[in-house]
Structure 1
Amino acid sequence: MVLDPQLQRVIESMHGPAMTGFARVSMSEARDAIAACLALQGEPRPVASVGELAVPSPGGPLPARTYRPAWSDGTAAGSARPVLVYFPGAGFTLGDLELADRPCRALANATGAVVASVACRAGDGQSFPAAVRDASAAARWFAEHADELGGDPTRIGVGGDGAGGTLAALVALRARAHGDPVLALQVLIYPAVDLAGWWPSRAEFADGCPLNSADLDWFTEHYLNGQPGTSAPGVAELSPLRADDLSGLPPTVVVTAGHDPLRDEGQVYAAALNQAGVPVLDCRNDTMAHGFLGMAGAVEHAEAVFAEIGDYAREVFATAVSAAR
Structure 2
Amino acid sequence: MPLHPRIAEILADLPAPPPGPLDPAAMRAGEETQVPPLDQRLPLHDVRDTIADTAAGPVPVRIYTPTDAERFGLLIYFHGGAFFLGSLDTHDHVARHLAQATGCRVVSVGYRRAPEAAFPAGLDDCYGTVRWATDHGDELGWDGTTLAIAGDSSGGTFVAAVTGLAHDDGFDRITHQVLYYPSLDLDFDADRYPSMRENAVGYGLETAGLAPFNAFYLDSGADPADPRVSPIKREDLTGLPAALVVTAEFDPLRDEGELYARRLEEAGVPVTARRYAGANHGFVQNFSWIPDYAQVFEETAAFLRGDTHE
TM-score (norm 2): 0.90
What's the secondary structure of 1:137's corresponding residue?
helix
CA–CA separation in structure 1 for the residues paired with 2:208 and 2:86: 18
Q: Secondary structure at the match of 1:97?
A: coil
Q: Tell me the distance in 2 between the aligned counterparts of 1:213 and 1:180.
A: 36
Structure 1 CA distance, aligned partners of 2:285 and 2:253?
16
Cα gap change, 1:35/1:202 in structure 2, threshold over 3 Å: closer, same or farther? farther
CA deviations on 1:21-60 (whole Å, 9 max, x unpaired) are 9x85322332244335546xx9422211112111124553
Change (3 A) 1:205 1:311: same
1:84 aligned to 2:75? yes
Q: How large is the Cα RMSD of the aligned pairs?
A: 2.3
Aligned to 1:50: 47
8 Å Cα contact 1:111-1:310 kept in structure 2 = yes
Aligned residue number for residue 111 of structure 2: 120
Q: For residue 6 of structure 1, what is the aligned residue in structure 2?
A: 6
- Give the partner amino acid of 1:126: A
Q: Point out where structure 1 has 5 or more consecutive residues left out of the alignment.
A: 72-76, 317-325
Please say if residues 74 and 107 of structure 2, whose CA atoms lie closer than 8 Å, have aligned partners that are also in contact: yes
Whole-angstrom CA distance in 2 between matches of 1:214 and 1:145: 43
Residue 50 of structure 1 aligns to which amino acid in structure 2? V
Cα drift, residue 219 of structure 1: 2.8
Residue in structure 1 matching 2:301, options 292, 310, 317: 310
Q: Post-superposition shift, 1:208?
A: 3.4
Structure 1 residue identity aligned to 2:299:
E
How far has the Cα of 1:193 moved from its partner?
Answer: 0.8
- Paired residue for 1:35? 32
Deviation at 1:206, TM superposition (A): 2.6
Does structure 1 retain, via aligned residues, the 8 Å contact 2:82–2:214? yes
Aligned to 1:215: 209
Q: Which amino acid aligns with 2:125?
A: D
Residues 258-269 of structure 1 aligned to structure 2 (within 5 Å): 258-269=249-260
Among residues 61, 66, 70, which one is paired with 1:64 in the alignment?
A: 61
2:286 to 288, 292, 295: 295
Higher RCO (CA-CA < 8 Å; seq separation 6+): 1
Q: Which residue of 2 aligns with 1:255?
A: 246
SS in 1 for 2:150: strand
In structure 1, the partner of 2:182 is 191
2:115/2:220 contact within 8 Å kept: no
Partner of 1:319: none
Indicate if the aligned counterparts of 2:288 and 2:294 stay in contact, CA closer than 8 A.
no
Structure 2: gaps spanning 5 or more residues: none
Secondary structure in structure 2 of the residue aligned to 1:98: coil
The change in CA–CA distance for 1:262 and 1:181 in structure 2 (over 3 A counts) is same
Contact conserved, 2:177 with 2:242, CA < 8 A, in 1? Answer: yes
How many residues align? The count is 303
- The alpha-carbon deviation at position 252 of structure 1 amounts to 0.7
1:177 aligns to what? 168
The answer as to whether partners of 1:256 and 1:266 remain within 8 angstroms in 2 is: yes
Distance between the aligned counterparts of 2:89 and 2:65, measured in 1? Answer: 17
Q: 1:194 to 1:297 in 2, by over 3 A?
A: closer
The equivalent residue for 1:284 is 275
Deviations 1:108-142 (A, max 9, x none): 11111111000111211322111111111111001
Q: Deviations over 1:68-113 (max 9, x none)?
A: 1146xxxxx32x2110110110111111100121111101111111
Q: 8 Å contact 1:199–1:265 — kept in the other structure?
A: yes
What's the counterpart of residue 154 of structure 2? 163
Structure 1 counterpart SS, 2:91 = helix
What does residue 206 of structure 1 align with? 200
Aligned to 1:323: none
Does structure 2 conserve the Cα–Cα contact (< 8 Å) formed by 1:200 and 1:264? yes
Partner amino acid, structure 2, of 1:261: P
Question: Which letter does structure 1 place at the counterpart of 2:5?
Answer: P
**How high is the sequence identity, in percent, across the aligned residues?**
35
Cα distance change of structure 1 residues 214 and 146 upon mapping to structure 2, 3 Å threshold = farther
